[in-house]
């Protein structure tokens, strides 16, 4: 199946729905209520249930406090690299213990890890992943919130495409030895396909998009901007690095 057959046209944009999604997150209860008071209560209750009750079913009682501490630390680090050695020092446990605790938090849908992309799989596994929360509604930093918002939607898209049998898709990020980085890379059947850099406001195109589109190569490269209004355009009609509204790009996914 060709790309044109399954990438959607930009859908009609509902500004109220977009703003509600941005403000209240993607979980059903707060989205239905759309109440700031309910959202705050829900956030507190959800984390208490996850860190105190659900964790108890997956691990030893002695580890509950440590996992709770890691959970609170990672709540303010969405979009950042997971430096396991630093976390281990902060909490006072081994690196392997921290890795196991982060895995537990991922299994409980608190967040997810995003690994860098290298053709050498072993090298990719050795590099530190990034961490993203599943709920962006409590993130106060606009940049981290926009990046997390995009990460959750992109992950949903690659998982859905894979489940539909359209290919083997993965969500990764790009980073090289001199710390040039692009927020996201969608890999299709083992090859780089779409590079995406997230910005809150319109800026000059990131030079890193040009670099990584050439090496190792990707068909599309987008600088997706949070505060640009929706446009009825086909983002995937463009090949070279281009600025697009984030809301338009996401409307073409799933």
pLDDT in tens, 127-173: 889 999 999 999 999 999 999 999 999 999 999 999 999 999 999 99
- Among 20, 16, 14, which residue's Cα sits nearest to residue 137? 20
How many residues are present in the chain? 254
Architecture, CATH, for domain 27-135 = Orthogonal Bundle (1.10)
Domain locations along the chain: 27-135, 142-254
Strand order in the sheet with 220-225: 169-175, 181-188, 191-199, 220-225, 242-245
What do you get for the CA distance between the two ends of the chain, in Å? 16
Provide the 3-class DSSP secondary structure of residue 5.
helix
**Residue 238: its pLDDT value, please?**
84
Query: What is the pTM for the complete model shown?
Result: 0.92
Say whether 142-254 and 27-135 share the same fold. no
Q: How far apart are CA 27 and CA 209, in angstroms?
A: 32
Tell me which H or E stretch contains 132. strand 130-133
Fold of 142-254: Trna Endonuclease; Chain: A, domain 1 (3.40.1350)
Name which of 18-22, 198-202, 237-241 the model is least confident about: 237-241
């Amino acid at each position: 199946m060709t790309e044109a057959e399954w990438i959607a046209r930009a859908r009609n944009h509902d500004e109220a729905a977009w703003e509600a999604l941005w403000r209240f997150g993607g979980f059903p209860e707060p989205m239905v209520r759309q109440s700031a008071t309910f959202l705050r209560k829900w956030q507190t209750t959800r984390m208490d249930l996850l860190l105190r009750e659900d964790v108890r079913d997956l691990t030893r009682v002695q580890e509950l406090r440590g996992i709770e501490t890691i959970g609170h630390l990672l709540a303010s680090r969405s979009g950042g690299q997971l430096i396991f050695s630093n976390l281990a020092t902060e909490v006072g446990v081994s690196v392997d213990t921290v890795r196991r605790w982060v895995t537990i938090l991922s299994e409980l849908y608190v967040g997810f890890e995003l690994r860098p992309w290298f053709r050498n799989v072993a090298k990719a596994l050795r590099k530190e992943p990034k961490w993203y929360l599943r709920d962006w509604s409590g993130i106060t930093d606009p940049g981290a919130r926009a990046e997390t918002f995009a990460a959750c939607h992109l992950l949903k898209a690659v998982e859905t495409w894979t489940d539909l049998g359209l290919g083997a898709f993965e969500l990764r990020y790009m980073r090289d030895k001199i710390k040039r980085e692009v927020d996201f890379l969608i890999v299709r059947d083992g090859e780089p396909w779409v590079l995406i850099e997230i910005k809150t406001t319109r800026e000059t195109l990131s030079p890193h998009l040009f670099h990584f589109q050439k090496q190792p190569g990707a068909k599309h490269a987008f600088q997706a901007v949070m505060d640009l209004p929706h446009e009825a355009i086909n983002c995937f009609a463009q090949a070279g690095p281009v600025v697009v509204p984030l809301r338009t790009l996401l409307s073409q996914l799933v």
